[in-house]
Amino acid sequence: MLVSKSLLPLFFHCHNENTRVAEASRETLLAAVSFLKSRDLEHLVMTDQMWRFGECLLAENRGRAAEHLRQALPFLQSPQEPLREAAVRFMGLVGRVLKEKQRELQLMCRALQDMADDISPAISCLAHQALYISIAAQSVPSSRLQRMRDGFRRLWKSRPSLGGRGRLCCWSAVEN
């Protein structure tokens, strides 16, 4: 349980401006997810797909979303912009998961509203987006949301093939 609780802080510290701290955090995070036998999280850390780590962490145990939210709050006060940005992004993900937990949702919304006045325009904009997406996710009935997800999956599966080349080529009329 203690190792599980360390994952999110380690994830945030992977965004530290001090490269030594970031690398040490990444190595420790890799050891922790390996210890927990979380192959999906381990793969993300090994392949340096940290932008997907929070999403996968929440997907593994949605019941701990409120706990993760509380762990992320102190990182919003960090003097380092990359740490604040990672925390705001993660809170946006948490906001999509919190359905019946109104108290935690209100706590998250207040924190994101405070971040909307951040000194960094990028973080301020990100906080606005996360707040609006979280509110929208709460207002959509889960059955309607599930229908939307199913529709997106069907669209994705029926997308045109790229002819086996693995890439899409585009030509302009000027080249012809």
Question: What are the boundaries of each domain within the chain?
Answer: 2-141
Residue 76 near residue 115 (C-beta atoms within 8 A): yes
Over range 67-89, report the average pLDDT: 94
Q: Under 8 Å CB-to-CB from 46, ≥6 apart: which residues?
A: 30
**Helical pair 121-139 and 102-115, crossing angle rounded to 10 deg:** 150
Burial of 156 (0-12, 13-18, 19+ CB in 10 A): exposed
Q: Give per-residue pLDDT as tens, 88-120.
A: 999 988 888 877 677 888 888 889 989 988 999
Among 136, 97, 134, which Cα is nearest to 116's?
Answer: 134
Task: Give pTM, 2 decimals.
Answer: 0.73
